[in-house]
Amino acid sequence: MAAGAAALNWRRVSSFTGPVPRSRHGHRAVAIRELVIIFGGGNEGIADELHVYNTATNQWFLPAVRGDIPPGCAAHGFVCDGTRILVFGGMVEYGRYSNDLYELQASRWLWKKVKPQNPSASLPPCPRLGHSFSLYDNKCYLFGGLANESEDSNNNIPRYLNDFYELELQHGSGVTGWSIPVTKGVVPSPRESHTAIIYSRKDSGNPKMFIFGGMSGCRLNDLWELDIETMTWSKPETKGTVPLPRSLHTANVIGNKMYIFGGWVPQSTEDNISSQDGEWKCTGSFSYLNLDTTEWVGLISDCQEDKNNLPGPRAGHCAVVIGARLYIWSGRDGYRKAWNNQVCCKDLWYLDTEKPPAPSQVQLIRATTNSFQVKWDDVPTVEGYLLQLSSDTPTPTAAEIPITMVPETPSAQGIKLDLRSQTINKVPNNVQISISETKAKITEPENAKKNNLISKESIAPLCLPASTLGPQISANVNELLDFETRTAKSDPSVPTVVSTAQNMVTQQAVKTESSNTNGAIVKDDTSLTTVSSKPEVNETAAPSGRIVSVGPDDSSVQLPKTSPQRQNARVRGRERRWYDVGFFQNNSALVNQFYLLPEEKAILSSKVEDADVPNYSLLKKQDLAPGTLYRFRVAAINGCGLGPFSRISEFKTCIPGFPGAPSIVKISKSADCIHLSWEPPVSPSGNILEYSAYLAIRTNQLHENPNQLMFMKIYCGLKTSCTVTAAQLANAHVDHTSKPAIVFRISAKNERGYGPATQVRWLQETKTSGSK
């Protein structure tokens, strides 16, 4: 057991902001994405506030709830279905228990009291506390608890329960009613303050509910299993050392393991069944049950020596899982009979139970002649990232550089939180913008003008910082299918670093939302994006590759297609050497140098979350060179160490002289048309001669690449704005590479040619009912 504890890396959260809730016990917690939502509990009175902790920002906040706000309660049922939370029962004051059911729509912080139908020919669940309330699919399962037989709340006559109810939920909001399932087998004995989890094997098998421990005049450590499909109770045989009998502990599932932490255990380990008035103590022991093999594994015992780096003994705490990280907060650490009061913990701990997954591919935000601004999708609950690069020598010429395609990563669904009770600056939520740099010269013969079409390889959206596009982007924030204009107000104090991948909004907008929602994650579908490549080389010569010219109007071209095998031809037959760019706490980086010391000769002087990190101050640095192809990969680091690296991405530094991409793109609607406007490139590299704007259109033409988009030129001129008519929009292609969107591209041309194009994806997501 000591060996298992040595492998654990518990961490205490020591720095956080916001109104920290008072310590308590008997509270409950659930997780919605990176948010821990806590309700109820007691310590010098029962708490009735709803507290939220943002694990990504280490910030506590109190949301402005409204509606049928429930009274404070303790030892209640608390489950989460998407962004809907259900609360059932609990103690509302000493000796008085509840059987009320409340629903919280966390998307709007709206409480509603719901009244489910009674079971046919039976009564609904009686008021109780200490019951289990578990969610699977569209049903909640209620088991056991403690009732008060006395009508006088001051004269508590406890009755332990082992009744079993099923509550059917309606989609999105509301419930249907209670029912009493007909079960087979021996029902678990009456109990309260036990735990219940539901687990379903990935490969096969019915979902199972596992009940462990509890209190029934004495503390228990028996394990029960319910097959939810057949409604059959059984008592599985287990291997390993069974944890001590306990109540008021927590049970959480991560992978195929049920983690048991803390609780009340008998004072004497020699007598596992203590009397009701026997001595007891809080424990900090930690075990898990392998739910596939039903084998118990002990991780921390009661006699563990190193108490400073482990959560202290406690009971009535809350525990919640985000990703593969287990969070534990508060709880009581003992009962002082001389003081006649509870002593509650105030600490917040977390434990990473496995190494983090590989991040998404590194994505290009902006390239210059000697630097890259890059990002990757945020990995929840990590301490940082190790970014590496590799480069081939000699540097390839411009004509040898293939088109670099970066696969699109689907945008994560954010939490829809209603902030109408607070003053905020609205963020646009239906525009995506990217920079696409053409890898080769695009010829436009005279006979191509009539068809007015241009075909290009599909490109992938990646985040672009606010410094690139500026503080304002117009878009519709409420009606995704409408083109009404909204503007995101900027905050000049915000650093130009991309925020979480879940939000994909300009840093100004993230700052505005964070400061006005106390850290709440607000759903926003805006992403600002880019793909790496080389600008157009000149006006006369085309590189090798397949060029298709269509029509006579000098506006129809297809980019050359390059075999993926060609991209790696220069590194075949030899092992690629990787160099560290550095360790980053956020999921973005400005790369203009890398460290020369190769991996096998690294001088290790420190550890970051159990991952060896070189002492970069001792290493030589190499600057990035212009016109050079670099490969990138990134790995996340948490308390378990360094996870696997991402897939490799390739980007090329720019060749001097070409203009940058247009910035600050705005989209607005008039009665019968769309208005596009933009600002000149931040780096024009000379005089801008003209701009071109394109619209992706529907086509029946077959391509080797089914994701290839066909573009129609809709504007060419010196003005930094253009109009898209309703007739043109009628032919628009709705791209489903990520979220459904209409795609525009805008690029600038100087004396040397066209630079990278800014791609705008106008999201066309349809409305859906419900909270998800």
Q: Residue range 74-83: average pLDDT?
A: 97
Q: What is the pLDDT, as a whole number, of residue 770?
A: 39
Of residues 455 and 683, the one with the higher pLDDT is 683
Let me know the angle formed at the C-alpha of 524 by 729 and 733, rounded to the nearest 5 degrees: 20
Judged against a pLDDT cut of 50, whether residue 421 lies above it is answered with no
Q: What is the sign, positive or negative, of the torsion defined by CA atoms of 54, 57, 62, 63? A: negative
Please state, rounded to an integer, the average pLDDT across all residues of the chain: 75
Task: Indicate the pLDDT class of residue 85, thresholds 50, 70 and 90.
Answer: very high
Beta-strand relationship, 527-528 and 431-436: parallel
Q: What is the pLDDT, as a whole number, of residue 627?
A: 81
Amino acid at 131: H
Check if the beta carbon of residue 5 is closer than 8 Å to that of residue 299.
Answer: yes
Judged against a pLDDT cut of 50, whether residue 449 lies above it is answered with no
Task: Indicate the pLDDT class of residue 541, thresholds 50, 70 and 90.
Answer: very low
Q: What is the pLDDT, as a whole number, of residue 548?
A: 26
SS3 102: strand
Q: Residue range 214-219: average pLDDT?
A: 94
Q: Residue range 584-600: average pLDDT?
A: 84
Task: Give the tens place of pLDDT for each residue, 742-764.
Answer: 889 898 999 999 887 777 878 77
Q: What is the pLDDT, as a whole number, of residue 201?
A: 86
Check if the beta carbon of residue 266 is closer than 8 Å to that of residue 275.
Answer: no
Amino acid at 639: G
Beta-strand relationship, 257-261 and 250-254: antiparallel
Check if the beta carbon of residue 765 is closer than 8 Å to that of residue 525.
Answer: yes
Beta pairing partners, 433 = 528, 760
Cα–Cα distance, 592 to 603 (Å, whole number): 22
Q: Find tokens 């480069």 and name the residue.
A: 391
Q: In the structure encoding, which two tokens stand for residue 416, read together?
A: 């829809």
The CA-atom distances, in angstroms, between 719 and each of 185, 488, 670, 677 are 78, 24, 19, 9
Cα–Cα distance, 483 to 528 (Å, whole number): 18
Q: Residue range 580-599: average pLDDT?
A: 88
Check if the beta carbon of residue 294 is closer than 8 Å to that of residue 240.
Answer: no
Instruction: For 438, list phi and psi in degrees, rounded to 5.
Output: -65, 135
User: Rg (Cα) of the chain, in Å, rounded?
Assistant: 30
Q: What is the pLDDT, as a whole number, of residue 560?
A: 31
Q: Residue range 439-452: average pLDDT?
A: 36
Instruction: For 29, list phi and psi in degrees, rounded to 5.
Output: -145, 145
Amino acid at 83: T
Instruction: For 411, list phi and psi in degrees, rounded to 5.
Output: -65, 135
Task: Indicate the pLDDT class of residue 269, thresholds 50, 70 and 90.
Answer: low
Q: Residue range 396-411: average pLDDT?
A: 32
Lowest mean pLDDT segment, chosen from 61-75, 190-204, 659-673, 684-698? 659-673
Lowest mean pLDDT segment, chosen from 195-209, 269-283, 701-715, 753-767? 269-283
Q: Residue range 85-97: average pLDDT?
A: 95
Lowest mean pLDDT segment, chosen from 435-444, 474-483, 729-738? 474-483
Q: What is the dihedral of CA 356, 331, 134, 29, to 10 degrees?
A: -60
Q: In the structure encoding, which two tokens stand for residue 409, read together?
A: 């990563």
Q: Residue range 128-146: average pLDDT?
A: 97
Q: In the structure encoding, which two tokens stand for residue 637, read together?
A: 């680091």
Q: Residue range 134-141: average pLDDT?
A: 97
DSSP E strand stretches across 263-380: 264-266, 280-282, 286-290, 295-300, 318-322, 325-329, 332-336, 341-344, 348-352, 363-367, 372-375
Q: What is the pLDDT, as a whole number, of residue 619?
A: 87
Q: Find tokens 């917040």 and name the residue.
A: 348
Cα–Cα distance, 332 to 24 (Å, whole number): 7
Q: In the structure encoding, which two tokens stand for residue 528, read together?
A: 């600002």
Let me know the angle formed at the C-alpha of 101 by 95 and 107, rounded to the nearest 5 degrees: 130
Nearest residue to 588 via CA among 621, 634, 625, 620: 634
Lowest mean pLDDT segment, chosen from 336-345, 448-457, 695-704? 448-457
Of residues 380 and 327, the one with the higher pLDDT is 327
Judged against a pLDDT cut of 90, whether residue 335 lies above it is answered with no
Q: What is the pLDDT, as a whole number, of residue 669?
A: 84
Cα–Cα distance, 278 to 286 (Å, whole number): 23
Cα–Cα distance, 676 to 715 (Å, whole number): 10
Cα–Cα distance, 521 to 216 (Å, whole number): 42
Amino acid at 444: E
Cα–Cα distance, 208 to 203 (Å, whole number): 14
Question: Other C-beta atoms within 10 Å of 136: how many?
Answer: 16
Q: Residue range 402-426: average pLDDT?
A: 30
Q: What is the pLDDT, as a whole number, of residue 23?
A: 94
Beta pairing partners, 761 = 432, 743
Q: What is the pLDDT, as a whole number, of residue 512?
A: 24
Q: Give 468's DSSP letter.
A: H
Check if the beta carbon of residue 379 is closer than 8 Å to that of residue 636.
Answer: yes
Say how far residue 644 (Cα) sits from the centre of its chain.
Answer: 18
Task: Give the tens place of pLDDT for each residue, 606-653.
Answer: 344 445 567 888 889 999 998 889 999 999 999 999 999 999 988 888
Cα–Cα distance, 279 to 203 (Å, whole number): 44
Task: Indicate the pLDDT class of residue 340, thresholds 50, 70 and 90.
Answer: low
Of residues 757 and 330, the one with the higher pLDDT is 330
Lowest mean pLDDT segment, chosen from 56-70, 288-302, 542-556? 542-556
Cα–Cα distance, 606 to 478 (Å, whole number): 49
Task: Indicate the pLDDT class of residue 352, thresholds 50, 70 and 90.
Answer: very high
Task: Give the tens place of pLDDT for each residue, 460-512.
Answer: 332 223 233 232 222 222 222 222 222 223 333 322 222 222 222 222 222 22
DSSP E strand stretches across 468-620: 474-475, 486-487, 527-528, 579-584, 588-591, 593-595, 604-608, 611-614
Residue 449, Ramachandran bin (φ over 0: left; ψ between -120 and 50: alpha; else beta) = alpha
Q: What is the pLDDT, as a whole number, of residue 586?
A: 93
Beta pairing partners, 110 = 66, 105
